[in-house]
Chains A and B, each alone.
Chain A
């Protein structure tokens, strides 16, 4: 079974631009969560999608948004990029609606200049 894939793996943007990151879950996984990892704040939950619906949201500004498609693939978008948005963005997927092991992708390294 193929693992979680994230594209692109690396991205360089300038302040004010917007960016879209993509996550393809393991086949059969309907839950997709997004996390931001920075040296200062560590790993922080952004949001979770399940069956195309956002089920939970972390404490991030509205510039951070996401969506999930009918094939469970998910995208997250960050608008009006700030320097502080530079981070490793990780998506994690799992099978059912009950809590359990999450499978992480390799991440997208976003650098904002």
Chain B
């Protein structure tokens, strides 16, 4: 069953604009990760934020985590057509074993 739920489910923007995706989850987590998937292919890891962190940056990506609200957001700045993909948030629970629980995903379309 899904833990995370991305919002919105689909987003269409123009190149150069910023894209914001939100993720809500239900239980306590150890970390939250964002992945990108192009057209039914493998997932590519974008960024990981641990439960004791509030914000993290990586290039054009900015992730925030609010554990009190059980929510996270992913901001992609200055989007490019190549950013067109599905984006998933995934939560990792405590312990040595990493079982990622994924949201349903969000389809981002960046129009040139």
Contact = CB atoms under 8 A, between A and B. Distances in A.
Interface of A: 4, 31, 33, 35, 42-45, 48, 50, 55-56, 58-59, 88, 90, 92, 94, 97-107, 109
A29 to B, nearest CB: 12
A60 to B, nearest CB: 12
B33 interface: yes
A94 B48 CA distance: 13
8 tightest A-B CB contacts, nearest first: A43-B102, A104-B42, A56-B97, A55-B97, A104-B43, A97-B96, A106-B42, A99-B98
B104 A50 contact: no
Contacts of A99: 30-31, 92, 96, 98
A92 B92 CA distance: 14
Interface residues of B, number: 26
B100 A42 contact: no
B102 A48 contact: no
A55 B12 CA distance: 40
Interface string B14-50: 0000000000000000110101000011111100100
Contacts of A42: 2, 102-105
A90 B43 contact: yes
Contacts of B104: 42
Given A42-B2, A45-B101, A106 B96 contact: no
B87 interface: no
A8 B45 CA distance: 23
Contacts of A107: 40-42
28 contacts: A31-B98, A35-B100, A35-B102, A42-B2, A42-B103, A43-B88, A43-B105, A45-B99, A45-B101, A50-B96, A56-B99, A58-B99, A88-B40, A90-B42, A92-B43, A94-B98, A98-B96, A99-B30, A99-B31, A99-B96, A100-B48, A101-B33, A101-B45, A102-B45, A104-B42, A104-B45, A107-B40, A107-B42
